[in-house]
């Protein structure tokens, strides 16, 4: 690896970005590609500029630090620069390059920079994707409710709010998100999506279908315990009898 590094600073607070920029200013071999004040701009900047190292806050508007990383492939080397979460600090000691808890001093910043250099100089013998994937699993707060899905289509990033999803249909290694008259194709499996969706709002009614419970207008019984699920827009879906008991219990709790 060359001694020169390209760095990107991502934080919604101007003062926090200025502190990182000031510390990097004493390293002429590091080129600061730019600064981003939100996660959406960060994703675009990483795609366009391909930095070696990203100093990344966690709590930001539009997309938080976790969501930024979920949309990047491959992942750059990352040093988190958050203002909270002691649990994350412990997890990062095992999985990540470094975790600069605000406020930090110059010595602590230099230590983080040395770790990042060492990681990049090794040629990423331990892939960043695998290391950060493990980190994300531990850092992502269990209580953080998913409110929208974000995915890439032809170089664009599409956002779909969960409240707008009527139903979901499996298609091999893809799923179709039906929102009104629009259908979005997401390259994920049904099982993955089912784990992401809040169980109190969405339910799987067959191997290939998930429905938003708020969209259900009527259930019509069929033969052998199956049901036809009729949505508010008139869409008719088939529910397997294997899911009937779970549906009834969910609807009882919501009534």
9-23, 125-139, 187-201: lowest mean pLDDT where?
125-139
State residue 32's pLDDT score.
96
At residue 48, the 3 state secondary structure works out as helix
Pairwise CA distance, residues 141 & 139, whole Å: 6
Residues 6+ apart with CB under 8 A from 191: none
For residues 30 and 22, the answer to whether their CB atoms sit within 8 Å is: no
State residue 38's pLDDT score.
94
Residues 6+ apart with CB under 8 A from 2: none
Average pLDDT rounded to a whole number, residues 25-45: 94
pTM, entire model: 0.52
State residue 131's pLDDT score.
56
67 exposure class (CB count in 10 Å sphere: 0-12, 13-18, 19+): buried
Q: In order of start, what are the domains of the chain with their CATH numbers?
A: 5-139 (3.40.50.2300), 148-254 (2.40.50.1020)
Q: What percent of the chain has pLDDT over 70?
A: 79
State residue 237's pLDDT score.
94
**Does the pLDDT value for residue 154 go beyond 60?**
yes
At residue 81, the 3 state secondary structure works out as coil
State residue 143's pLDDT score.
46
State residue 91's pLDDT score.
42
> CA 225, 239, 142, 127 torsion: positive or negative?
positive
Highest mean pLDDT among 35-49, 81-95, 189-203: 35-49
For the sheet with 77-80, list strands across it.
30-36, 5-10, 53-56, 77-80, 98-99
Encode burial over 120-157: b for 16+ CB neighbours within 10 A, e otherwise.
beeeeeeebeebbeebbeebeeeeeeeeebbbeeeeee
Residue pLDDT, tens place only, 195-227: 778 877 888 888 899 999 999 998 888 877 688
Choose between 224 and 120: higher pLDDT.
120
Q: What are the angstrom distances between the C-alpha of 17 and each of 9, 55, 100, 203?
A: 6, 9, 13, 43
State residue 63's pLDDT score.
85
Residue (of 241, 248, 245, 1) closest to 119 by Cα position: 1
Highest mean pLDDT among 34-38, 89-93, 105-109, 155-159: 34-38
Element of type H or E holding 34: strand 30-36
For residues 197 and 187, the answer to whether their CB atoms sit within 8 Å is: no
Pairwise CA distance, residues 158 & 130, whole Å: 25
95-99, 142-146, 180-184: lowest mean pLDDT where?
142-146
């Amino acid at each position: 690896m060359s001694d020169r590094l390209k760095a990107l600073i991502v934080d919604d607070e101007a003062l926090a970005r200025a502190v990182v920029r000031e510390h990097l200013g004493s390293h002429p071999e590091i080129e600061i590609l730019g600064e981003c004040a939100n996660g959406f701009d960060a994703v675009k900047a990483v795609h366009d500029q391909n930095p070696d190292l990203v100093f990344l806050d966690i709590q930001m508007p539009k997309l938080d630090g976790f969501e930024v990383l979920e949309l990047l492939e491959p992942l750059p080397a990352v040093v988190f620069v958050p203002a909270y979460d002691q649990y994350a600090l412990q997890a990062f000691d095992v999985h990540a390059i470094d975790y600069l808890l605000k406020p930090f001093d110059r010595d602590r910043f230099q230590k983080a920079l040395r770790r990042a250099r060492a990681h990049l100089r090794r040629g990423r013998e331990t892939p960043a994707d695998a290391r950060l994937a493990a980190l994300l699993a531990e850092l992502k707060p269990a209580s953080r409710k998913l409110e929208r899905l974000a995915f890439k289509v032809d170089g664009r990033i599409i956002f779909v709010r969960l409240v707008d999803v009527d139903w979901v249909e499996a298609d091999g290694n893809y799923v179709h998100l039906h929102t009104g008259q629009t259908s979005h194709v997401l390259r994920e499996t049904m099982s993955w999506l089912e784990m992401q969706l809040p169980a109190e709002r969405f339910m799987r009614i067959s191997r290939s279908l998930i429905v938003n419970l708020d969209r259900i207008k009527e259930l019509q019984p069929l033969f052998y315990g199956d049901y036809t699920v009729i949505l508010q827009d008139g869409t008719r879906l088939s529910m397997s009898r294997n899911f009937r008991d779970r549906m009834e219990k969910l609807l009882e709790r919501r009534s």
